[in-house]
Amino acid sequence: MKNILSALCLRSIIDQETNNISLIDCLEQLNIQINESDKTVKDKVFPIAFDFVSIFVDENIKKERKFDFILETVDGKKEKLGEIKGQIVMKEGIKRMRHRIKIPGLKIIDSGTYLFKIKYKKMDEEIFVELAEIPLEVNISYKLM
């Protein structure tokens, strides 16, 4: 299986007539202002809802394939903040699969480059393989109240 596209966006819309997807407000950078009195950002989950969208291709279309996946979030210090697990099922005859993960919030430790890593494994395998790594630059600034 190959990952031909992964993106973070504030929202995505799937057109019911064409089954095409539109990625709205793709995220590369996130700027957050925090009150000066609240200097401790560590371990706060910010209610910033966004979508992680991926498109996968698998040439083996002669049978149904099942893949487990993990979407890991890693902070700027390479510490794992969380993960979302799931399964992708590609039916017989299907070559491409689009998958969208709705994320309701982001745990933020400090300013830095956060990584979203998508990994997969076939159902009969033990080891996850990383397919893509999407960076998100997080900048925290403080304001006086």
Please tell me the total count of domains within the chain.
1
CATH code at position 7: 2.60.40.10
Range of the domain at 139: 2-143
What pLDDT is stored for residue 38 in this prediction?
67
R_g of the chain, CA atoms, integer Å: 17
Give the pTM: 0.87
The C-alpha atoms of residue 26 and residue 2 are separated, in whole angstroms, by: 22
> For residue 80, which of 51, 29, 52, 115 has the smallest C-alpha distance?
115
The pLDDT tens digits along the chain (145 residues) read 889 999 999 999 999 999 999 999 999 999 988 877 666 666 678 888 999 999 999 998 999 999 999 999 999 888 999 999 999 999 999 999 999 999 998 888 888 999 999 999 987 888 999 999 999 999 988 777 6
β-pair type (29-35, 129-143):
parallel
